[in-house]
Amino acid sequence: MVFGECLTFIRQKTRALLILVFLHSFMINREYLCSNHPFATPQTIESIAHSSLAEMRFEGHISFENLEFAARDFGNRYHLMPSAVLHPKSVSDISSILRYVYDLGLSSELKVAARGHGHSLEGQAQAYRGVVISMESLRAPEMSFHGGKHPYVDVSAGELWINILHESLKRGLTPRSWTDYLRLTVGGTLSNAGISGQAFRHGPQINNVYQLQVVTGRGEVVTCSDEQNTDLFYAVLGGLGQFGIITQARIALEPAPKMVKWIRALYSDFSTFASDQEHLISLNNSFDYVEGFIIINRTGLLNNWRSSFSPKDPIRADQFNSDGKLLFCLEVAKYYNPRESDNIDQDIDTLLSELSYIRSTLFMSEVSYVNFLDRVHVSEVKLREEGLWEVPHPWLNLLVPQSRIHEFVAEVFGNIVKDTSSGPVLIYPVNKARWKSGTSLITPDDDVFYLIAFLSSAMPSSTGKDGLEHILSQNKKILSFSQRPYLGIKQYLPHYSTEEEWEAHFGPHWEVFYRRKVSYDPLAILAPGQRIFRRGIAYALQ
C-alpha cells in the first residue's frame, strides 16, 4: 500500500474503534437509565437529575440560588444561567458530581463547566442549565513548596496566579512564565496556554508545569505528567477544558529577582520594529520579557507615560510628536537584584545599542518584580473606580505566522483598524522551538509567530467607534481577512460556533483532539461554553 492509502486505512480503523467505544458507553448508560427510570422522558430525566443533585452530599456545598455570577464573565456578552453551582472543598466533590452526570448517560442534557475566575470572553466557563463548578472554592491542597535543583510548587487549580506569586516570593522563588494579568486561575490559563512576554524564552505556562491531577468526564481522578498518563497530560494542556477538570498542578519555579528595569521605545516603521523584536527573541542572553504594542492616532502619548516612565533624553522626548501617527512600541524588561545593578545597566546598553528605535523615545522605569508582574492590576483598580471594568470586552487574539506578519499588518492597520483608542493592541513574536509540541494548543506552522491581541473595551450605550457594534464589526473584518487559509493564522482563546469551524481551527490535529474527547469525556459533559462538542450526540457516527 502507498503511504496515502495506508493512512486512509488507519483512519477508517480508528473511526470504527471510536464508534464502538461510543456505542459501548451509550449502551452502559442507557441500561443504567432504563433500570432506574423505565418511563423517563428528557424533561423528567432533567428534573430527576436536579433533585438527585440536591440530595447528594459534598464536603463543600451545591447551591441552586444566587447563580447570576456564574452566568457572567469578563467578556460580558454571554449570560447563560446554570441550574446549580457546586462549591467544592475536595477533589472527591468534583469526581462525585462528574460520576453522577456520566452515569445519567446520553439521554440527559446535563453539562458541567469548571469556572476559574470567570475571565473568559465568550461564555467559555458557563453551562446553560448545567452545573458550574466554582474552582476557587477548592483550596486543597494547601500550596506546598519543594526546593532543590528543580524547585516547584503544588497548588490547587482554583488558585489565582497572584497568590502563587506572593507565596513563592516569601521563599525567594517565582514561577517562570506568566500572563499579563494575574487574577486568573491556574486551571483557567493552563486550559488555554498562558502567554506573555516571557514565553519566547520559557514557552507559555503550559510548558512550565510538571504534573497535573485531573478528574475526567467519567469522574476518574488521574495523575498525569510527561512520564505518567502522558496522553491525558498533553490533552489537558491547552485543552479548553474538554478532557477533564484540572484539580491540582505542579508548577516549575526558579529563583526570584527583586527588581525590574522596564523599558519602552517607539518605531515608526513596522519592518524595523519587527526585525528588532525578532532579533531580541533569538538571543540567548536577551531581555527577560519582550512584548510590544501598536499605537494609532493617539495624542499626548509620551506625556501619559511620564507618570511611570522617565525619558532617557528629556529635551528630545519633549520635541517628539506622536499625533496621528502609526507607531510601534517595543516593551522590554530586564530582571535584576540591586547588588548587580551596574552589570545590568551595561547589559541593557549593549542590547539597546543593537536596536533601531527612534532615539528620542527611549523611556525607562525601575519597579519591584511584583509590581512589574502585577502591572495590569493598577489599571483594573482605576477602571473599577470609574465603573469601566465590567463593560463588554469584545477581545480578539490571533497567532500570525512570521512569514505573513507584514501582509497582516499592512491590511489590518492600513485598511481596517483606524485608531486604538478603544483599548491596547499587543504585538510580539514568540519562538515555537521553546514550546512543547503535542499539547492541545493550536499554533501556526512557522517557527516564529506573533501574538496580536486586540483588547477592546466597549463603552456602554456608545454608538461611536468605542461602541460594541463598531468594535464587533471591525473584529469581523479582521477575522474575515485572517481566515484566508493560505495565511495560516490561528485564533488564541478561540471562539467558534460550529463543529466545522473547530475542525478547520484544529486542521490535521482534529483527529487527535476528537480521539481524546472520546477517551476522556465521551458524553461531551465538560466545558459546553466552548461550543465544540454537543451533549447527547454520538460524534463517532459521522
Q: Report d(CA 337, CA 339) in Å as an integer.
A: 6
Which stretch in 27-35, 177-185, 261-269, 356-364 sits in contact with ligand FAD by CB under 6 A?
A: 177-185
* Set of cell numbers at residue 486: 493560505
Question: Cα separations (Å) of 75 from 123, 160, 413, 434?
Answer: 8, 19, 24, 30
Binding segment for ligand FAD among 33-41, 80-88, 118-126, 496-504 (CB under 6 A)?
118-126
- The one-letter code for the residue type at 241 is G
Interacting span for ligand FAD (CB under 6 A) from 32-40, 45-53, 173-181, 301-309: 173-181
Q: Binding to ligand FAD by residue 125, rule CB under 6 A?
A: yes
Active site (catalytic) residues: 119, 180, 291
Tell me the three cell numbers of residue 481.
Answer: 481577512
Near ligand FAD in 376-415, by CB under 6 A: 376
* Interface with ligand FAD in residues 130-149 (CB under 6 A): 135
* Cβ–Cβ under 8 Å, residues 111 and 122: no
Q: Which three cell numbers stand for residue 308?
A: 511611570
Q: Show the cell assigned to 252.
A: 516549575
**Candidate segments 8-16, 80-88, 194-202, 469-477, binder of ligand FAD by CB under 6 A:** 194-202
What's the min distance (Å) between Cβ of 113 and ligand FAD? 5
CA angle 366, 371, 375 (to 5 degrees): 105
Instruction: Using the minimum distance from each CB to ligand FAD, give the nearer residue, 28 or 391.
Output: 391
Of residues 82, 88, 105, 116, which one binds ligand FAD by CB under 6 A?
116
Considering only 45, 193, 417, 441, the residue that binds ligand FAD (CB under 6 A) is 193
Residues 6+ apart with CB under 8 A from 139: 89, 156, 158
Interacting residue with ligand FAD among 87, 119, 495, 535 (CB under 6 A): 119
- Give the closest residue to 240 by CA, choosing from 131, 114, 69, 82: 114
Binding flag, residue 517, ligand FAD (CB under 6 A): no
CA distances from 442 to 289, 326, 352, 393, 399 (A): 23, 30, 33, 23, 9
Least Å distance, CB 325 to ligand FAD, is 26
Please report whether residue 250 would count as binding ligand FAD according to CB under 6 A: no
CA 527 vs CA 70, 101, 396: distances in Å: 13, 13, 20
Query: Taking CB under 6 A as the criterion, which residues in 63-102 touch ligand FAD?
Result: 73-74
Tell me the closest approach of the beta carbon of residue 450 to ligand FAD, in angstroms: 14
Considering only the stretches 91-99, 217-225, 237-245, 460-468, report the one whose residues sit in contact with ligand FAD under the rule CB under 6 A: 237-245
The dihedral sign for the CA sequence 258, 165, 198, 290? negative
Q: Which of 84, 91, 101, 114 touches ligand FAD by CB under 6 A?
A: 114
Q: Which of 88, 241, 444, 494 binds ligand FAD (CB under 6 A)?
A: 241
Residue 357 CB, nearest approach to ligand FAD (Å): 23
**Pick from 76, 83, 108, 120: which binds ligand FAD (CB under 6 A)?**
120
Asked if 224 interacts with ligand FAD (CB under 6 A), we say no
Residue 179 lies near ligand FAD (rule: CB under 6 A): yes
| Cell numbers for 261 | 528595569
Three-state SS string over 462-507 comes to CCCCCCHHHHHHHHHHHHHHHCCHHHCCEEECCCCCCHHHHHHHHH
356: its cell numbers: 533601531
Continuous segment of H or E residues that includes residue 164? helix 161-170
- The binder of ligand FAD chosen from 72, 111, 115, 261 (CB under 6 A): 115
Residues in the site for ligand FAD, rule: CB under 6 A?
73-74, 113-120, 124-125, 135, 157, 179-181, 184-185, 187-189, 191-196, 240-241, 245-246, 376, 493, 527, 529-530
